[in-house]
Structure 1
């Protein structure tokens, strides 16, 4: 007997030690990850799936995101232009002194524009603008006179001796270097809108816009610089735009929600458990089990994925309400024990119910893991790990800690619960269950017929309204409409890509009226294809240099000296006959702001080649169809619209989710029929099936369009809501079970889950709001209909 006790004590100590080690390792790993670079992912694009069939298109999306992500733009404005300029200079100096930025550009540094001309000069006879190409067949005298007597010369003017007819100067002037809407005044980029003058200040970041350290440094520096400007010029205002500000706003909002949902739900659950159990010890043990699940889930998710999405973090805070369900059911058995308490026997008695409940919950989350959305995969991983650890802790750790029996049972509460259950079961259970089901279906049918859907991704991503307004102000002043829609041009060689991009540009220029794109950006505006350069050289040879004597006479008649005319004519034969290449252009330092237009070589999905980006200036619903048609008309060209692609994928998976839900219901039915026999399995599945139907009807009556997150939440309604019917059914199977205690535990479990998911429904993140509202409604209906699952009379078998 003594040896048995010693063995039992040693087993208990071993179990406690094993759980302590697991908790310590998980906690230390979490601390380690958060002490280094933040594992939180605030990049909204990272929440979305790879939607393009062509991986090169995804590479283009990433390239543009990287190109724009490390830049921030500030606009310092005032009704007094001198105030705006002085304020911008002070603002830029304050940002530079803060050390938070890799570079700050307010006053433009001296730049030798001759560097641009120097790149193109050796290739000048392969470069012709469209107008010059058309005019080359006309007499040269007019072009020469216009060049000589034209008093207006741009910053990229060429020497008359090197470019007598101005063809190279025209080419340089056509380069898309200038930013529309901005003028260079006092070495500042200034925009005038009515009586308001705005000065542009551009910065680049030291690190990623999605790192918390970078965000804190940038926000602090910007706030300090703005305060300095306001103190000197109260009439000056500062608008800002950049990914770092959206990332920081998203991080702050999610942290507020994590604290709100976590603290409020934890306090609410604590109060509920104290009221029901009247035992601080049980409360602490319940939260211990839940905390183990969440900490281990957090560590496991970061270990598997490396990063932790904000969506996952906020959802994790709501998992408290579900993870505590298992310990609640164990405590109900503990308090309802009528004879001496045996912790192991208590665990064995509750194991069937919790095992079935765990299986249904894991099934719901496993379906989320199949969806190709990184955020949903993480949520599924987090939830499965969390509830799995919570279940294991209830089965092994709680029995090792809850060795002594209860001091007092909650007989009065359980008796009241039993009376309530009996009355409610009499109203909706037994033979009346099918009548109740028929009435609910009849009521729900009109709601189902009114169901609509809206899969627009913009409805599911909440952006800070203040930042949106400031970004719009910056765009209006600068005159640039930076869109997320663009073309990807591919080819087997660099030359093929350039030729196709030129063909695309010609088709875009041909669009008129509402179909027009108001211009476009492409690497071909800087580097023509070798074919086009050869054509230009052939035109020069045919129309300009075919008769050197006549050309010389034209130049001499215009006043050029003999040696200058001879040198220029000879330069055609000596000029570099090899075409200008993309590599040569990329090597020029001034090409840096435009390098994202060239993707370069790729090797993806068994295909190799080269690719480039062509960005239309204006994309609207009126011209988008024309752009898609234009892309289809040219081989190797694809029109990419990330938002539309994700929205389309949302719609496809929303439709597919109906099939997944049907399949999951069938699996749950088979699982429950195997456990409770066919009639019992059907009765146990009926409440959650009706809950799904009533929830859908409610959305129809409320005219709330369905989206993917509503439909996926129904999977969890199935996984979580089925537990309540299972708990009651299992209670009926145990001869020594107190059904009042079981029902009290079911109501408490539902209340804690509703508290968590109800708060999730109040999230500022539209996706989580849809998710939480659907779960809360579905779970509420599930628990109300759960007594329908109980057999007509209590028996020791199903």
Structure 2
């Protein structure tokens, strides 16, 4: 019976190993298939920089307003062709627009405007003319000392010469013409000439060309098509009109630049870190087999990280991919520690080695997961994605090392190398130096020297820490906006109400307040839907005002008109129009139905709803020409007015940065307490404190270095310290656990720790060279913290004697 069991045991073991291999193969293939399907068409990749920003307001209506403004011009590309020769600029614009029209990148391209009858705007408002009065006309009509003949004479002898106006027969007093003149239709420096929109600055003439994209600006294929179409048109332009310069702006160009920069960094960091890690592993283990197995577990981790992130978030931001390229150095740590333990065991079964190193890997995994789990609670989509990516990646890498590698590493391992003896002797001397009484005095002096550095720490919560736009595109955008006179305002009001009428009334009240001086200065203007569609209450008041002064005596009105020279039939027609004026007011829906309202439709949000709240109506009011000094007054104005909220996205993001930067100090202290508790439970109080001490020193010294260097801290430095806490604590754990294993070669364990630290430094350190401020902050902090943590890791070791090989 015993013999039969002995015969069956190897067969069961082989069968079990094959089940593990085939099971992992099936799971990995499924993850690969999912990633391939999602990434094939490029729609899963997110290049929208604004998607990195968090929701900064508890009010979902305000966030919808932010999204509406962000997307109102998101599908457009704007070009400005300039030359000192006006004819060349115009001809170049026609040629450039014609070439863009032939490409498949744009749905529509407008260089030369189609004939537009501005009288259609007047015709739209004409039926409501007796309900539309300007503020000046209201004041004049309320002044009973001003007679109607006088008002009529002002219209006849001082006619409206510019802008929109109504025919004299339909608007003899000029009230509708005065109201039309107040519409914000000409808020730019653009002029219509030869059916082209032009602007002049000095002797330079610039012509505007706009294009509407065929698809989303954040679609990879659309970006490629636009880039190709514009490049071809620009090359043709350079041959035909070498004196014409072209500048551009639009979300598609920013998205394409972000994609290109991210892909370059992804390739650079991924290739350099992979090659560097491969060379280090070959130098230490001298075996391509270990290299391939190590990268196998890492590749599994990356595949699972990609699949989990796209499954949870739907989209994968390129920022996450760049960070993921640096995750290779951390994910490979588990296989390195397993290989070191296996080589040091001298012929031990691979599965037994896995069981022996599993406690150290579990503790290291727990500390790493804790560091990344902190990021999940931060309301930044980018950091949540990074946290999800990292947690899934290192979790899958750990599982593959714990279960898959023992099934693949079945042959007897090579003997440990003599270099382990040298490493063990070096470690012994370094540990002895660190544990001498003088060393503790040195640590105390370092702590004292760090205090002035801590006191010099400053902070910076600028939004550009999260988003950094391409500088050349930003310069071109500034040129376009300055040339055509359009501001890039990120401050606006959201007006809410239970009905459309209440929103319009509140918008009118706000507009009147904004027309007064704000913080001692006047605004350049205001854009509001109430300028195009007054509230029904205001229309009724204006209609009543005219009825009182004009239509109360139809005979007198007719006589006034005929006395002024109007033909009797014209006078009779106007009187009849006054008496038959419609009682129903002009509505927002009627205005929205007009094609010429399209450039201003973003001002009306309409009916909006949010979870747990009844539906409401909302609109946007945009003040123009706002100075920094006026922002507090505008915010106070909104706070004092019911149903109105002032939205300043950059300021709100900065405030959120500051809030979470302060909170992150408590998170760091809490995470440190949890790690200390975990280590004390595992190793005892005294040993737990010693194992925790290296990473505590790493955090403290990093703070001091930033203080002395004058580098202001931001939220991402603090969050990177969370990862220093999670990753840096692993090195002391590996050493402590290595000393606890009976058959472990402590020299090999130290080589493994140094190798793990080197691979992590190689990958995360490259983030310090990133052009993305977020990743640069992470990389610099992680590199500095890890160097200090690994250097002080022997503090957590018990005093041991080296066992020669």
**TM-score clears 0.5:** yes
- For 2:458, what is the secondary structure of its paired residue? coil
1:704-743 correspondence to structure 2 within 5 Å: 704-743=711-750
- For 2:32, what is the secondary structure of its paired residue? helix
Q: Which residue of 2 aligns with 1:298?
A: 306
Q: Distance in 2 between matches of 1:572 and 1:257?
A: 70
Q: Distance in 2 between matches of 1:173 and 1:680?
A: 81
- 2:624 aligns with one of 607, 617, 626: 617
- 1:455 aligns with one of 457, 461, 477: 461
Task: Point out the more displaced range, 655-664 or 205-214.
Answer: 205-214
In the TM superposition, residue 513 of structure 1 has moved relative to its aligned partner by 7.3
Q: Distance in 2 between matches of 1:376 and 1:342?
A: 41
Contact 1:430 1:791 in 2 (8 A): no
Q: Distance in 2 between matches of 1:111 and 1:122?
A: 21
1:94-120 deviation per Cα after TM superposition (whole angstroms, max 9, x unaligned): 111112111111111122223212221
In the TM superposition, residue 430 of structure 1 has moved relative to its aligned partner by 6.0
In the TM superposition, residue 431 of structure 1 has moved relative to its aligned partner by 5.3
Q: Distance in 2 between matches of 1:755 and 1:563?
A: 90
- 1:7 aligns with one of 6, 12, 29: 12
Structure 2 runs not aligned, ≥5 long: 1-5
Q: Which residue of 2 aligns with 1:27?
A: 32
Q: Which residue of 2 aligns with 1:791?
A: 798
- 1:365 aligns with one of 356, 360, 372: 372
TM-score w.r.t. structure 2 length?
0.96
State whether structure 2 residue 199 is matched by structure 1 residue 191.
yes
- 2:554 aligns with one of 542, 548, 554: 548
State whether structure 2 residue 429 is matched by structure 1 residue 423.
yes
Q: Which residue of 2 aligns with 1:130?
A: 135
Q: Distance in 1 between matches of 2:441 and 2:337?
A: 30
Q: Distance in 2 between matches of 1:147 and 1:222?
A: 51
In the TM superposition, residue 350 of structure 1 has moved relative to its aligned partner by 0.6
In the TM superposition, residue 433 of structure 1 has moved relative to its aligned partner by 5.8
Q: Distance in 2 between matches of 1:429 and 1:559?
A: 109
Contact 2:160 2:177 in 1 (8 A): no
- 1:608 aligns with one of 600, 615, 625: 615
Q: Which residue of 1 aligns with 2:273?
A: 265
Q: Which residue of 2 aligns with 1:113?
A: 118
Task: Point out the more displaced range, 157-166 or 281-290.
Answer: 157-166
> 1:513/1:409 Cα in 2 relative to 1: closer, same or farther (>3 Å)?
closer
Q: Which residue of 1 aligns with 2:493?
A: 487
In the TM superposition, residue 152 of structure 1 has moved relative to its aligned partner by 5.8
State whether structure 2 residue 543 is matched by structure 1 residue 560.
no
> 1:513/1:334 Cα in 2 relative to 1: closer, same or farther (>3 Å)?
closer
Contact 1:290 1:390 in 2 (8 A): yes
Q: Distance in 2 between matches of 1:202 and 1:222?
A: 12
- 1:535 aligns with one of 541, 557, 567: 541
- For 2:628, what is the secondary structure of its paired residue? coil
Q: Which residue of 2 aligns with 1:18?
A: 23
In the TM superposition, residue 286 of structure 1 has moved relative to its aligned partner by 0.6
- For 1:622, what is the secondary structure of its paired residue? helix
State whether structure 2 residue 649 is matched by structure 1 residue 642.
yes
Q: Which residue of 2 aligns with 1:83?
A: 88
Contact 1:334 1:405 in 2 (8 A): no
Task: Point out the more displaced range, 273-282 or 424-433.
Answer: 424-433
Q: Which residue of 1 aligns with 2:756?
A: 749
1:134-159 deviation per Cα after TM superposition (whole angstroms, max 9, x unaligned): 23332333442343345664463322
Contact 1:430 1:792 in 2 (8 A): no
Q: Which residue of 2 aligns with 1:680?
A: 687
Q: Distance in 1 between matches of 2:178 and 2:159?
A: 14
Task: Point out the more displaced range, 39-48 or 463-472.
Answer: 39-48
Structure 1 runs not aligned, ≥5 long: none
In the TM superposition, residue 557 of structure 1 has moved relative to its aligned partner by 1.5
- 1:437 aligns with one of 417, 433, 443: 443
In the TM superposition, residue 4 of structure 1 has moved relative to its aligned partner by 1.9
Contact 2:518 2:634 in 1 (8 A): no
Contact 2:505 2:537 in 1 (8 A): yes
> 1:211/1:617 Cα in 2 relative to 1: closer, same or farther (>3 Å)?
same
TM-score w.r.t. structure 1 length?
0.97
State whether structure 2 residue 794 is matched by structure 1 residue 762.
no
State whether structure 2 residue 673 is matched by structure 1 residue 666.
yes
State whether structure 2 residue 590 is matched by structure 1 residue 578.
no
Q: Distance in 2 between matches of 1:151 and 1:637?
A: 38
- For 2:54, what is the secondary structure of its paired residue? coil
State whether structure 2 residue 109 is matched by structure 1 residue 101.
no
Q: Which residue of 2 aligns with 1:172?
A: 180
Q: Distance in 2 between matches of 1:489 and 1:713?
A: 39
Contact 1:190 1:200 in 2 (8 A): yes
Q: Distance in 2 between matches of 1:620 and 1:678?
A: 58
- For 1:510, what is the secondary structure of its paired residue? coil
Q: Which residue of 2 aligns with 1:701?
A: 708
Task: Point out the more displaced range, 773-782 or 458-467.
Answer: 458-467
Count of matched residue pairs: 794
Q: Which residue of 2 aligns with 1:278?
A: 286
1:672-698 deviation per Cα after TM superposition (whole angstroms, max 9, x unaligned): 111101111111001101111011111
- 1:506 aligns with one of 500, 506, 512: 512
State whether structure 2 residue 318 is matched by structure 1 residue 325.
no
In the TM superposition, residue 179 of structure 1 has moved relative to its aligned partner by 4.0
In the TM superposition, residue 432 of structure 1 has moved relative to its aligned partner by 5.6
Task: Point out the more displaced range, 1-10 or 428-437.
Answer: 428-437
State whether structure 2 residue 504 is matched by structure 1 residue 471.
no
Contact 1:429 1:789 in 2 (8 A): no
- For 1:74, what is the secondary structure of its paired residue? strand
Contact 2:52 2:466 in 1 (8 A): no
